[in-house]
Amino acid sequence: MHVVMIAATAALGGLLFGYDTGVISGALLFLREAFHLSSLMLGVVTSIALAGAAGGAAIAGRLADRFGRRPTLLATAGVFVVGAIVSALAASLMQLLAGRLLVGLGIGGASMLTPLYLAEIAPARERGALVSFNQLAVTLGILVSYLIGYGFAASGAWRWMLGLGAVPGVILIAGMLILPETPRWLAGHGHADRARAALRRLRGRSADIEAEVKQLRADLRSDVQTLPQSRLGHAAARLPLIVGIGLAVFQQVTGINTVIYFAPVIFQASGLSSASAAILATAGIGVVNVVMTLVAIWLVDRLGRRALLLTGLAGMGLSLCLLALGFLLGSGSVLGWLTAASLAAYVGFFAIGLGPVFWLLISEIFPLAIRARGMSAATIANWLANLVVALTFLDLVDLLGRPGVFFLYAALTFGALLFARALVPETKGLSLEAVEALWLERASQKGRPLGPAKLLEQR
C-alpha cells in the first residue's frame, strides 16, 4: 500500500472530528424540542463534548506512548462509534449526555493521534502535505455535516444526524486494522526489526531504507541522553511547548468556530434574511474551507510553514476588520453579501494557514521522547480554548455588539501574527529528527532555552 493511501486512510480520524463539529449546531434545534432543553442545557450538550475532547486528548498521549499509535487510534475510533450510537439512540437526557461525552473523548483522542501518526509515517519532503490530509478530512467532515444537516432539516431526524457519524468511525477502524504501527514508535520500543519492516511497507520494496533506519537509531540514542526522564519540564521541551500551546489557543480565540457553528445566524443578522440564502452562503463557506485546504496542501512543502501561517494570519485579521466594519454599517442585502464575502475570505485565510499549519507544527516540533505528550498538551489547550469561545460568543455579542466581537477577534489575530513571527521555526523539508536536533542543540548550549530571536537567527 502506498504511503499516500495509508495517510488517506489514517486521515479519516479528521473526518470524525469535522463531522461532529459541524453537525451539532443543526441537531441542537431538534434536540431542544425532543428533550425540552433550556438554553443552559443546550450549552451543556455542546460543551460536554468539547470538555470530553480535552479529556480524550489528555489520555490519548499517554496511551499512545505506552501501547503504540495504532492501537490507541483504533481504541479512540471505537469509543467514538459507541458514543455516536448511544447519542443516536438516547431515550433520556442522561443517555444523550453520556453519548456526547464518549463522542468527545473519541474526537479529542483522534484529533491528536491522527496528525501524530501521519507525521511519523511520512517522508520529510512530503510531510506537510500528508499531515495536512488530516485538516482536509476535518473540513470535508464539516461540509458533509452541513449537507446532511440540510438534508434532514425538514424531517428533523436528529437521530440520523448524530448516528451517521459512526460510519466514518467504522471505516477508520477497518482501515487501521491493516495499517502498520509507526517506525518511530517501534524503534523507540526496542522493536528494530518491526520498525524496519514497517519502513519497508511505507517506502516500497525498492527504496533504500537503511539511511532512515540509521538516522532513527542515532536520534533515539541522543534523545535518551538529552531527555533522560522524558520530562515536559526539560529545557529542550519548553520552547516547543510554548509554541504548541500558544498556537493552539490562538487557533481558537481568533474565532473560527463561531463561524463554523453560527454561520447561518451571522448571515441572517447581516441582511441575508431568507433561510435559503443563509444556508447557501453557509455551504459556500464549507466549500471555501475545503478548497483552500487543498491549496495549502499543495503549497506547504513548497513555500514552507511560516509563509503560509503568516500570510494566512494577516489575511484573517484584515477580513475580520472588514466583517466588523460591515456590521458597523448596518444591514441590507448589499452589505449582507459583503459580509458573506469577508467571512469567506476569513475562512479561506484560516484554511490556508492557521488551520492546517497548527496541527502540522505540533506534530513536528516536539522531540520524540515527549512528542505524544507535547501534542496532548497542545491539543488539550486547543479544545479548552474552543470551549471557552463557544461558551462566551453569544454573551460577548450582547456585551460588545457584533462589530466589537469581530474587532476583538481581529486584535487577537494580529497578536497571533506577532507571536508566530517571533517564535515559529521553519520545519519544511527537515526530518523530524533534525527538527528535534534544532531545539536540543539550542537548549543545551547554555543549559537553558534560547530566546526566539536567537533561535531563528541560528536556523
**What does the alpha-carbon distance between residue 410 and residue 299 come to, in Å, rounded to a whole number?**
25
Which of residues 50 and 161 has its CB atom nearest to ligand BGC in the complex? 50
By Cβ distance, which residue is nearest to ligand BGC? Answer: 355
Position 107 contacts ligand BGC (CB under 6 A): no
Which of residues 340 and 354 has its CB atom nearest to ligand BGC in the complex? 354
* Min separation Cβ 127 and ligand BGC, Å: 17
Q: Which residues contact 350 (CB under 8 A, 6 or more apart)?
A: 254, 256, 289, 312, 316
Number of H helices, E strands in the chain: 20, 0
Q: At 254, which amino acid appears? A: T
Among 114, 386, 413, 431, binds ligand BGC (CB under 6 A): 386
* Min separation Cβ 437 and ligand BGC, Å: 28
Which of residues 25 and 268 has its CB atom nearest to ligand BGC in the complex? 25
Q: How many CB atoms lie within 10 A of CB 446?
A: 10
CB 353 within 8 A of CB 311: yes
Position 46 contacts ligand BGC (CB under 6 A): no
* Min separation Cβ 57 and ligand BGC, Å: 11
Position 251 contacts ligand BGC (CB under 6 A): yes
Which of residues 239 and 362 has its CB atom nearest to ligand BGC in the complex? 362
Which residues 16-45 are close enough to bind ligand BGC by CB under 6 A? 21
* Min separation Cβ 260 and ligand BGC, Å: 5
* Min separation Cβ 210 and ligand BGC, Å: 36
Which residues 128-167 are close enough to bind ligand BGC by CB under 6 A? 135, 138-139, 142
Hey, CA dihedral for 385, 169, 352, 342, is it positive or negative?
A: negative
Which of residues 235 and 266 has its CB atom nearest to ligand BGC in the complex? 266
Among 257, 339, 413, 427, binds ligand BGC (CB under 6 A): 257
In angstroms, what is the C-alpha Rg of the chain?
22
Identify the H or E element spanning 325.
Answer: helix 305-329
Position 256 contacts ligand BGC (CB under 6 A): yes
Among 114, 254, 289, 342, binds ligand BGC (CB under 6 A): 289
- CB-side neighbour CA atoms (13 Å) of 162: 31
Which of residues 114 and 431 has its CB atom nearest to ligand BGC in the complex? 114
Number of residues that bind ligand BGC (CB under 6 A): 14
Q: At what angle do helices 3-10 and 127-153 cross, to 10 degrees?
A: 40
Which own/partner contact pairs does 388-396 have at CB distance under 8 Å and 24+ positions apart?
388/252, 388/253, 389/252, 389/253, 389/255, 389/257, 389/258, 390/46, 390/47, 390/50, 390/257, 390/261, 391/43, 391/47, 393/258, 393/261, 393/262
Q: At what angle do helices 275-299 and 256-269 cross, to 10 degrees?
A: 150
Residues that bind ligand BGC (CB under 6 A): 21, 135, 138-139, 142, 251, 256-257, 260, 289, 355, 359, 382, 386
